[in-house]
Amino acid sequence: MGKEARDILAKLKRGDKGSLTRLKQNIKTNEKYQLDNFDLITWFLVS
Amino acid sequence: MSLKTSLSKVHKCKAPSITQTNGLSLKLSSFTIERFAPYTKLFNEKEWDFETKKKNRNAFYEWIKWIAENHPKVHAKLSKPIDILIATDTLSEGQNLQDADMVINYDIHWNPVRIIQRMGRIDRLGSPNKKIFGINFWPSNNINTYLNLQGRIEERMAAMKLAGAEVDHQFSETFAEIIQDESLDQKMNARMMKQMETTWDDIEVTDEGLGFDDLSLERYRQDLLEEFNKDKNKYLKMPKGVYTGFKADKTICNENGIIALLGYPARPSKKPDYDYQLFDLIYINMQGKTVLLNQKEILDALTVHKDKNRFVLDAIDRGDEDAIKGLVNAMQGWLNDQAVEIEKQSDGTEKK
């Protein structure tokens, strides 16, 4: 189980609305977290 | 149902405060309030040579009959009841008005304590009402956007909750969401832990204290808006993936890595006016592990470094393949972590 799944489970226990919406989307976390699914809008290099 | 069954008589009471010293207005205001709340002001708060085995409301009804026979002047007040009392903020404290079962805030005070106090006039022990109601009139949308009154009160109430005060969780829908928010709980716990270590004064005077600002991102929004307005066109034309870098203050950013703003799901190629469902602001090291979890902490870190000179390794600016690959791997590592956790077993193998 990854971080998002743990996070959603924890929020569901408290009855968080957003996590329920996420659950209803029915998108597996390993399908969601692909490089192509995200836009890198901006980034900073920390040196 | 309240003792006040008919809503026929309305009385305007400009300043019914008990702190008034002017004899005439004090007399007038107490006369008004006794007519408005006879159960509390006359029956309960004054001493009468009257006895009954009945309780609460029934005792009150019996007392009215007794008053009619023994105290005609008091009975005269009872026969001219006031059902709706319209008052300024002066009535928000100091009076017991349990007879009433509804407070309508036709102006919302910026200070949540005042709002709680106003409810407290009727939300008191000894109320004959089974249910009480509170109604708040918020300004219309336009004005509220301008004043952000609701937002400001909710933030202050959230801050009060953090400080341990009793607040009305059902005050408004958005406030209910704020206090259910996970981070607020975490902040409250962290603060309580800290309180155990130090005294209240220590927390208040240090920068680490949790102030009103900490509950909103308003400060960053102002900062960004100011910068944005300086050169709107430049920022509007900025391409996706634009980047910069800085030499970090190690006390704030203790690891090298990337701070990135990600949008999900990726924008389809032919949709210029596309809205992302969610944004993720992340600070990860070169292995893809998160350095700072909280988005506000990341914004804080960026704020500290916002006036620093641009500093990006030459290799990255040149587009050196290895350097870029390192960055992509870091991003990939973070994405993997979100989806599946990999645990290293004692025999060296990995378990997903």
Average pLDDT per block of 10 residues along chain B, 352 residues long? 40 42 56 89 88 85 92 90 88 86 85 83 84 82 66 75 69 71 64 57 45 60 83 84 89 90 85 82 90 83 88 88 90 85 63 60
Chain B positions in Cβ-Cβ contact with residue A25 (cut-off 8 Å): none
- Judged by CB atoms closer than 8 Å, whether chains meet at A39 and B240 is answered as yes
Query: Tokens in use for B334?
Result: 């973070």
HEC assignment per residue over B38-73: HHHHHHHCCCCCCCCCCCHHHHHHHHHHHHHHHCHH
User: Does B255 reach chain A within 8 Å, measured CB to CB?
Assistant: yes
State the DSSP code for B89.
G
Please, what's the b/e burial string for B89-120 (b: 16 or more CB within 10 A of its CB; e: otherwise)? ebbbeebbbbbbbebebeebeeebbbbbbbbb
State the DSSP code for B129.
-
Q: Are the beta carbons of B210 and B187 closer than 8 angstroms?
A: yes
Contacts of B21 (CB under 8 A, 6+ apart): none
Q: Which long-range contacts (CB under 8 A, 24 or more apart) does B316-322 make?
A: B316/A45, B316/B245
* A20 or B81, greater pLDDT: B81
Q: What is the mean pLDDT of the segment spanning A15-38?
A: 81
Instruction: Give the model's pLDDT for residue B197.
Output: 56
Give strand ranges (E) for chain B. 10-13, 84-87, 102-105, 133-136, 242-246, 257-264, 278-285, 290-292, 343-344, 350-351
Give strand ranges (E) for B189-341. 242-246, 257-264, 278-285, 290-292
Q: Which of B289, B335, B336 to mutate to test the interface with A (most CBs of A within 10 A)?
A: B335
Give the residue among B172, B169, B117 at the shortest CA–CA distance from B144. B172
The ipTM value here is 0.83
Q: Pick B257's closest partner by Cβ from A3, A16, A46.
A: A46
Residues within 8 A of B (CB atoms), A 2-41 only = 2-4, 10-11, 14-17, 29-30, 32-41
Phi-psi region of B330 (alpha: psi -120 to 50; beta: other; left: phi over 0): alpha
Integer Cα distance of B292 and B307 in angstroms: 21
- Judged by CB atoms closer than 8 Å, whether chains meet at B339 and A16 is answered as no
